[in-house]
Amino acid sequence: MKSRITVINFDKIEAPTEGEEIKATDCGISVPDNPIISVIEGDGIGRDIMKAARRVIDAAVRKVYDGKRKIVWFEVYAGQKACEKYGEWLPEDTLKAIGHFIVSLKGPLTTPVGGGYRSLNVALRQALDLYACVRPVKYIRGVPSPMRYPEKMDVIIFRENTEDVYAGIEWGQGTEEVKKVIAFLNKNFDLYIPGDSGIGVKPISIKNTKRLVRMAIKYAIENKRRSVTLVHKGNIMKFTEGAFRDWGYQVAKEEFADYIVTEDELHNKYNNNMPEGKILINDRIADSMFQQILLRSDEYDVIATPNLNGDYLSDACAACVGGIGMAPSANIGDHVAIFEATHGTAPKYADKDMANPTSLILSAVMMLEYLGWQKAAEKVKTALGETIMQKQVTYDLERLMEGATKLKTSEFASAIIENIRF
């Protein structure tokens, strides 16, 4: 295959000589049959699970498209490998490649202690404006779960990724900065904030709220989902969380009036009978949502929520279907998307060929869906489900399942590949 890509000047890496670029279009992305996809292997168990995930994805694409389609992987560097090659954790080459080639797959990264970054993941999301963290949570039959009816959980969470208390606007207790901020607030707003406080700021904006909720509603429409729930703590934080709810409803009514029905309309206009083909838009206060999602999981479908709520809620939902080792995720902007495992680098299992690659494999499945390669995505999901039903699993699941066979990471990948059938 000949390269037909734009020449980009990298410092220490070279783009592949085969494959083509994915292009951004007005209505999404245009994907060639041999797309170049950048890949960050990740630290710790990243080295084991990335190998496994790539083998599974390549095998599915090869089997389903019979050689007519192929992913051309382009390794780019972040974390410890980047440190060795570049002397820095997140080199410019990597940001350039991920931005240019649009779609990436990423393993977990160590958070540098005392380095220039609070988290490489947050730095990547901010640098590339990946404003939505998208986490589907669905039960795979046979996986041990603490719930009685885990199969009722099938939600997809759109968590705002760029603002809220995660914006990183904080001043530590006792610093000159915090003294100035406290003095300013106490003087100008007639407050009494104790002088020994630390201060954090929680910005939530119209633009960032609307683009997140817009993405969630579009997803619901395109994937024929039943409802979109705005999860907020607006009863207490009226001008941030409450505003998130109000702006969320606004974008729904202004841009998707033909598709949505509010809960009020459902009761008052439709006598509680959901009209065919419409999507219910409702909202829930975050604390009540945490119990609702456990007690009545099947009443929820697509969820849109600010950053902090989303962080907690996605792990809580993942726990119901077997933990973060089983849950995939993507960080998506207007076009650029990074698909990544939800767990960390689990250093004690690094290079032992033990870790469970499911989270990364399912993230790669989301990536195939994003490319529009649904058939390959479906095949991997089915094969993964079959492998778990055959009780062929890695150590973490084997210790919770009776009569299971413990497989290495690489053996688990081989078992999935074996189960990819027509």
Residue 314 binds ligand NAP (CB under 6 A): no
Sign of the C-alpha dihedral computed for residues 39, 45, 49 and 51 taken in this order? positive
Which of these segments, 64-72, 145-153, 309-317, 338-346, binds ligand NAP (CB under 6 A)?
Answer: 338-346
How far apart (Å, rounded) are the C-alpha atoms in residues 422 and 399? 32
Chain residues 85-114 in contact with ligand NAP, contact rule CB under 6 A: 108-111
Quickly list DSSP for 275-340.
Answer: PTT-EEEEEEEHHHHHHHHHHSGGG--EEEE-HHHHHHHHHHHHHHTT-GGG-EEEEE-SS-EEEE
Decide: helix, strand or coil at residue 39: strand
Dihedral (C-alpha) 321, 133, 341, 303: value to the nearest 10 degrees?
10
Q: In the chain, count of helices (H) and strands (E)?
A: 14, 17
CB-nearer residue toward ligand NAP: 309 or 329: 329
DSSP 110: P
How far apart (Å, rounded) are the C-alpha atoms in residues 262 and 285? 16
* Other CB atoms within 10 A of residue 201 CB: 14
E strands, 4-47, in order: 23-25, 28-30, 36-40
Residue 355 binds ligand NAP (CB under 6 A): yes
Identify the active-site residue in 77, 131, 139, 166: 166
Among 71, 156, 216, 346, the residue binding ligand NAP under the rule CB under 6 A is 346
Q: Based on the number of CB atoms within 10 Å of its own CB, is 194 exposed (0-12), middle (13-18) or buried (19 or more)?
A: exposed
Identify the active-site residue in 233, 353, 370, 381: 233
Is 311 one of the catalytic residues? yes
Residue 52 binds ligand NAP (CB under 6 A): no
Chain residues 156-175 in contact with ligand NAP, contact rule CB under 6 A: none
The upper half-sphere exposure of residue 414, i.e. CA atoms within 13 Å in the direction of its Cβ, equals 6
Which of these segments, 1-9, 284-292, 293-301, 337-345, binds ligand NAP (CB under 6 A)?
Answer: 337-345
Among 32, 99, 144, 344, the residue binding ligand NAP under the rule CB under 6 A is 344
- Closest distance of CB 114 from ligand NAP, Å: 13
Site string for ligand NAP, 118-147 (x = CB under 6 A): ---x--------------------------
Residue 343 binds ligand NAP (CB under 6 A): yes
CB-nearer residue toward ligand NAP: 160 or 396: 396
Among 356, 363, 414, 419, the residue binding ligand NAP under the rule CB under 6 A is 356
Identify the active-site residue in 43, 283, 311, 396: 311
Residue 228 binds ligand NAP (CB under 6 A): no
CB-nearer residue toward ligand NAP: 110 or 419: 110
Residues of this chain that bind ligand NAP (CB under 6 A)? 45, 49, 108-111, 121, 325, 340, 343-346, 355-356, 396
Q: Which active-site residues does the annotation give?
A: 166, 233, 287, 311
